[in-house]
A = this chain, B = another copy of it.
Amino acid sequence: MSTHPVLIAGQWRPSQSTGTFRVENPATGQPLPGEYPVSSWADCDAALTAATAAAATLRTLPASQIAAFLNRFADRIDARKAEIVELTHAETGLPKAPRLGEVELPRTTNQLRQAAAAALEGSWALPTIDPKLNIRSVLGPVGPVVVFGPNNFPYAYSGAAGGDFAAAIAAGNPVIAKGHPLHAGTTRLLAEEAFAAVGETGLPPATVQLLHRVEPETGLRLVSDPRTGGVGFTGSRSAGVKLKNAADAVGKPFYAELSSINPVLILPGALTERGAKVAEEFAGSAMLGGGQFCTNPGLIILLAGDTATQFAADVRQRFEAGNPPVLLSSGLVRSLSEGVAALRAAGAELITGGSPLPAPGCRFANTLLRVTGDQFLAAPEKLQTEMFGTASLLVVVRDAAQAAAVLGHLEGNLTGSFYSSTTGADDALYAVLEPLLRTKVGRLLNDKMPTGVAVSPAMNHGGPFPATGHAGFTAVGIPASLRRFAALECYDNVRAARLPASLRDKNPNGAMWRLIDGRFTQADVGA
C-alpha cells in the first residue's frame, strides 16, 4: 500500500517515518485507502531548517505578495471544493451540506481573504511613531509557526488552512502544519492547494509545510526548538498542556485552545418568560454538530424551582427526540462514556442518554445530567470534566448566593452566557452575577447560545486558562488574531532608508492606521 508523502522544503517527499497510520470512516468503521506517515525528528528538523530560511525571505517581501497568496489559496480551495468535501465527509462523518460545503468551507476561505486584507492594510501590527525622538515600533513576524489542527474543524482550524494558519501567514511567518490524524486526507488536499498557491505567488517554497503526525516526544521537541518562533494549538487539554510547558520553558509563545465547558446561566425571569424557547435554543446549540464544538454549552446553571424542573423536562424531550449524528471517531465515544462516568461518580444524576448507540457508526446518545448546587460545590473540579459531544450538566442552585459560589469555582472558559428577562425582572441578579462570570470567560453573551463564533474584528475566541494559554489574545477575529504570531520590533534612531515600509514617514498605502504622536491616523508623518 502506498504511503503518502510529507511536504518539506518545497517538496512532497517520502517521510523519514517511525510508522504509519490509516484514517477510518467513522460512519462505517472501515479504513479509508492510503497510509499516512508518522514523522520522525528528521522530518521536523528538515522542516525547521527550511522554515527558518523561508522566514528570512518572507520578511523581505511586500505585504501585497503575502495577501496575494492568501487570496489565491482561498480561490484554489473553492475550485476544488467538491473533492475536498467528499473526502472530509468520508473521514469525519460530518454532513457534506450544510456543514462542510456551505458553512465551514466558505468560512475558511472567508478567513483567508480577511487575513489577506489585514496583511495588505497593515494596521494589525500597531505601527507607532514618535517623530520627535525618532523611535518607531511595529509588530513583526515571530518566525516559523507550528500549527496543530484539531479533530473537530477540518477546515476552519486546520493547521494548513484555518484561523491560526491564516493569522501566522498574514503576520509574515511560514507555517509548519501538523495535521490531525482523523482527517489526514483533508489536510493533505488543503496543503496541496496551499503549496500550489505558494508557487503561483512566488513565496518561498517552505512557507507552507505539512507533517501528518508525530510521536508525543517529537512534538515536544518541535515546539521547543530554538528555530521555532511560535505555536498555535487547538486540541485536548492533556496534550496541549504538555506542549505548552515545553514551549514555555524556552520562552516560545504558545497559543492554545485547550478546554471549555461554556457555562450558561438562565435566570429565573427568563425561564418564567420564555422557558420553552430557551430550552429549544439550548438543545439546538448542544446538539449542533454532534456537540463537537469548542463552544458547546456544557454547564447550565439554574435556580431551583418549578420553571427549572420544566426546563429540564423540555430539554430531555428534545434530546430524546434528536437523532445523534456520527461522531468524529470511536475515541470520542469512549471519552464521552468516561466523561459521563466521571460526572456520575461525582454525584451527577443521569436524566437521559449516557451510553453509546448501536452500530453502524460511532454515535452516542444525547446526554443530560443534573446536580444540585451543594453537589457541585462538593466536587467542582470533577464536575467540570469536559465532555466533548452532546452531553451537558444542569447545576440547580438553591439561590443567588449559591449561584455566586458556583461561579467562584469555575475554571477559565471561552464563553459564558446569561439569559435574562426582557422586562428587567432579572436585572438585580444579573448585576450581582455578571462580574463573577465576566472574569472567568473570554466572551460574555446575552440571550444567545455560544456555538456561533462569528469571524468579526470584535470576536474573542479565547479566555483564561485552561480555556487558552493567554487570556489577552483571540484565535478568531481579524486583525487581533494576527498579533499572536508577532514580536514587537522597535527602531531607535534608525536611518530612514533602513526602516520597514510601515514605519517610514510616508504611509505606505494611505490606508494603514498608525499611532503617530499618540493619535491614530492614516496620514504621513508631519502631514
Tell whether, in the assembled complex, residue A253 and residue B488 are in contact, meaning their CB atoms are under 8 Å apart.
no
Partner of A488, one of B442, B447, B498: B442
Interface-centre pick from A465, A471, A493 (highest chain B CB count, 10 A): A471
Tell whether, in the assembled complex, residue B444 and residue A480 are in contact, meaning their CB atoms are under 8 Å apart.
no
Tell whether, in the assembled complex, residue B444 and residue A492 are in contact, meaning their CB atoms are under 8 Å apart.
yes
Known A435-B59, A472-B487, A483-B472; judge A494-B445 contact (CB<8 A): yes
Interface residue total, chain A, C-beta cutoff 8 A = 75
| CB-defined contacts of A488 to chain B, threshold 8 Å | 442, 460, 462, 471-474, 480
| CB-defined contacts of A18 to chain B, threshold 8 Å | none
- Whether A248 is near chain B, meaning CB under 8 Å from some CB there, is yes
Known A443-B490, A446-B498, A464-B487; judge A472-B253 contact (CB<8 A): yes
| CB-defined contacts of A140 to chain B, threshold 8 Å | 438
| CB-defined contacts of A133 to chain B, threshold 8 Å | 454, 456, 458
- Whether A365 is near chain B, meaning CB under 8 Å from some CB there, is no
- Whether A92 is near chain B, meaning CB under 8 Å from some CB there, is no
Partner of A143, one of B56, B126, B439, B483: B439
Closest Cβ neighbor of A453 among chain B residues: B492
| CB-defined contacts of A390 to chain B, threshold 8 Å | none
- Whether A430 is near chain B, meaning CB under 8 Å from some CB there, is yes
- A37-79 contacts to B (CB < 8 Å): 56, 59-60
Closest Cβ neighbor of A117 among chain B residues: B518
- Whether A249 is near chain B, meaning CB under 8 Å from some CB there, is yes
Interface string of A499-527 (1 = CB under 8 A from B): 00000000000000101001110000000
- Whether A222 is near chain B, meaning CB under 8 Å from some CB there, is no
Tell whether, in the assembled complex, residue B253 and residue A445 are in contact, meaning their CB atoms are under 8 Å apart.
no
- Whether A22 is near chain B, meaning CB under 8 Å from some CB there, is no
Interface string of A475-490 (1 = CB under 8 A from B): 0010010011011111
Interface-centre pick from A472, A480, A489, A493 (highest chain B CB count, 10 A): A472
Tell whether, in the assembled complex, residue B137 and residue A460 are in contact, meaning their CB atoms are under 8 Å apart.
yes
Distance of A505 Cα from B278 Cα, bound (Å):
28
- Whether A4 is near chain B, meaning CB under 8 Å from some CB there, is no
- Whether A434 is near chain B, meaning CB under 8 Å from some CB there, is yes
Distance of A121 Cα from B471 Cα, bound (Å):
23
Please state the number of chain copies in the assembly. Answer: 2
Partner of A492, one of B253, B443, B471, B487: B443
Tell whether, in the assembled complex, residue A493 and residue B445 are in contact, meaning their CB atoms are under 8 Å apart.
yes
Tell whether, in the assembled complex, residue A253 and residue B446 are in contact, meaning their CB atoms are under 8 Å apart.
no
| CB-defined contacts of A128 to chain B, threshold 8 Å | 457-458, 480
Known A128-B458, A465-B252; judge A490-B444 contact (CB<8 A): yes
Distance of A183 Cα from B450 Cα, bound (Å):
51
Distance of A492 Cα from B460 Cα, bound (Å):
9
Report A337 CB to chain B, min CB distance, Å. Answer: 28
| CB-defined contacts of A249 to chain B, threshold 8 Å | 245, 248
- Whether A466 is near chain B, meaning CB under 8 Å from some CB there, is yes
Known A435-B59, A488-B472; judge A135-B520 contact (CB<8 A): no
Tell whether, in the assembled complex, residue A446 and residue B493 are in contact, meaning their CB atoms are under 8 Å apart.
yes
- Whether A136 is near chain B, meaning CB under 8 Å from some CB there, is yes
Tell whether, in the assembled complex, residue B493 and residue A135 are in contact, meaning their CB atoms are under 8 Å apart.
no
Tell whether, in the assembled complex, residue B456 and residue A493 are in contact, meaning their CB atoms are under 8 Å apart.
no
Tell whether, in the assembled complex, residue B446 and residue A494 are in contact, meaning their CB atoms are under 8 Å apart.
yes
Distance of A490 Cα from B462 Cα, bound (Å):
9
- Whether A250 is near chain B, meaning CB under 8 Å from some CB there, is yes
Tell whether, in the assembled complex, residue A490 and residue B458 are in contact, meaning their CB atoms are under 8 Å apart.
yes
Distance of A137 Cα from B441 Cα, bound (Å):
12
Closest Cβ neighbor of A59 among chain B residues: B435
Distance of A435 Cα from B251 Cα, bound (Å):
21
Distance of A140 Cα from B458 Cα, bound (Å):
14
Known A435-B59, A459-B135; judge A253-B493 contact (CB<8 A): no
| CB-defined contacts of A139 to chain B, threshold 8 Å | 472
- Whether A448 is near chain B, meaning CB under 8 Å from some CB there, is yes
Tell me the A residues contacting B by CB distance below 8 Å: 56, 59-60, 123, 126, 128-130, 133, 135-137, 139-140, 142-143, 244-245, 248-253, 412, 415, 430, 434-435, 438-439, 442-448, 450, 454, 456-460, 462, 464-466, 469-474, 477, 480, 483-484, 486-495, 498, 513, 515, 518-520
The 6 closest A-B pairs by CB, nearest first: A251-B465, A460-B490, A520-B520, A471-B487, A248-B248, A443-B490
Cross-chain pairs A/B with CB under 8 angstroms, 22 sampled: A59-B435, A123-B520, A128-B480, A130-B459, A135-B459, A136-B458, A137-B460, A139-B472, A245-B248, A245-B249, A434-B498, A442-B490, A443-B490, A443-B492, A444-B489, A445-B493, A446-B493, A446-B498, A459-B490, A460-B489, A472-B483, A472-B484
Known: A130-B459, A446-B498. 8 other contacts (CB 8 A): A128-B458, A130-B457, A135-B454, A142-B471, A245-B248, A442-B488, A443-B492, A472-B486
